Amino acid sequence: MRLAKICIGIFRPPFCFPPGAFLFFIMFAVASLSCGEKQFDEALYQGRRADLPDQVFEGFEMTITENGIKQGWLKADRAEKYEKKKLFNAQNLKVIFYTSSGEIKSVMTSRRGIIRTDTGDMEALDSVVVISRDSTKTLETERLIWKKKENIIVGDTAVVITSRRGVVRGDGIKADAGFENLEVKNPTGDIHVLGNEF
């Protein structure tokens, strides 16, 4: 029995396969699709794997030092370590900053935080609150960065600073970790009380 040619009419003129060639074409197409799906699945897996932490810590604690001097102490309910990104992602963060003599400077809390393992810098995110050591000043904002080398806190989001002498609002802040010397961007409110005596 002689096999007939198989022609595909979507081409103009129709493309015809020699006997037996059409079956080979189908097998090749299926194999190509399977290979493509496998490569896609592998890429998807590698992408998801890159988002997974290398280590997870429950009840995470860390002491921060500079040249052997204790600068601060932090704790978090949970911390995820990412080796390649050189950071920790922390949940429910609390940081206590200290003077060189070991006295408490201020306390900072936030719902989330990022701790850079290469620089030691920290970023507090979501409902950030800083309270001075004597509890007379409170800073509220949504994002603050503590720069380890300079030992200062900076922020570029709306801030509200409350003290016994008044309330100041602004669009950002720069202050020492002791929360004493303040620079508020575009301050409004009781701005006359800004400064070392605020």
| Contacts (Cβ under 8 Å, ≥6 apart) of 184 | 159, 161, 168, 170, 172, 173, 191, 194
Task: Report the C-alpha gap between 117 and 82 in whole angstroms.
Answer: 9
Q: Domain holding 147: CATH number?
A: 2.60.450.10
Q: Is 36 domain-assigned?
A: yes
| Residue 45 and residue 73 in one domain | no
Q: Which amino acid is at 159?
A: V
| Residue 61 and residue 148 in one domain | yes
| Residue 22 and residue 66 in one domain | no
Residues of the chain where predicted confidence (pLDDT) is lower than 50: 3, 6, 10-11, 43-45, 47, 196-198
- CB 123 within 8 Å of CB 101: no
| Residue 62 and residue 44 in one domain | no
Q: Is 198 domain-assigned?
A: no
Is 0.95 surpassed by the pTM of this model?
no
User: Which pair of structure tokens corresponds to residue 190?
Assistant: 């009781």
Residue 18 CA: distances (Å) to CA of 2, 14, 21: 12, 13, 5
Q: In terms of residue numbers, what domain contains 121?
A: 55-193
Tell me the three state secondary structure of residue 67: coil
Which of these, 71, 74, 77, lies nearest to 61 by C-alpha position?
Answer: 74
Q: What does the pLDDT read at residue 179? A: 79
| Residue 71 and residue 36 in one domain | no
Q: Is 1 domain-assigned?
A: no
Q: What does the pLDDT read at residue 164? A: 85
